[in-house]
């Protein structure tokens, strides 16, 4: 059964697609460490949840598949999170306080108006990186001064 599945991937040209072509073997999973925070990168504002993007505190330390953006802290924040594990919760709360407008303003929308529309909103990693989050900067500054 597994052999048939892999053979179908060869026959359908899946192994020649960009991601598969750059892996050895072509059917292997990407090997990445887990990240402490995840973000959904697609969603609809009118989904019933009220917001197109959500941040998740990765308690399980699972390596996410391609349905989430994995947020890896830069070295200063990574060290602060190691030294002060309670910062995880504070950072997660700060991420979830980012306004929908700020997130949607950096991303794109398919099948609707950019402003609030009912379309599918998408946020790429670089677009998420453009979002200003003063609250995170404040938390990090306090954490670093606490370690000094």
Based on the fold, state whether residues 21 and 91 are members of the same structural domain: no
Residue 106 in tokens: 């950096």
Based on the fold, state whether residues 27 and 98 are members of the same structural domain: no
Q: What is the mean pLDDT of residues 54-72?
A: 89
Based on the fold, state whether residues 17 and 42 are members of the same structural domain: no
Q: Angle formed by the axes of helices 87-96 and 75-83, to 10°?
A: 130
Global pTM? 0.76
The range of the structural domain enclosing residue 13 comes to: 1-31
Q: How many domains does the chain have?
A: 2
The pLDDT tens digits of the residues spanning 83-139 come to 999 999 999 999 999 988 888 888 888 775 545 545 788 999 999 999 988 888 888
């Amino acid at each position: 059964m597994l052999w048939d599945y892999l053979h179908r991937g060869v026959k359908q040209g899946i192994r020649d697609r960009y991601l598969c072509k750059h892996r050895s073997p072509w059917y292997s999973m990407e090997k990445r460490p887990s990240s402490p925070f995840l973000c959904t990168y697609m969603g609809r504002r009118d989904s019933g949840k009220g917001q197109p993007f959500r941040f998740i505190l990765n308690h399980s330390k699972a390596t996410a598949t391609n349905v989430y953006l994995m947020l890896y802290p830069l070295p200063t924040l990574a060290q602060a999170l190691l030294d002060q594990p309670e910062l995880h919760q504070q950072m997660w709360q700060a991420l979830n306080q980012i306004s929908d407008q700020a997130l949607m303003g950096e991303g794109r929308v398919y099948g609707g108006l950019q402003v609030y529309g009912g379309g599918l909103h998408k946020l790429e990693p670089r677009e998420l990186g453009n979002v200003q989050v003063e609250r995170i900067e404040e938390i990090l500054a306090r954490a670093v001064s606490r370690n000094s």
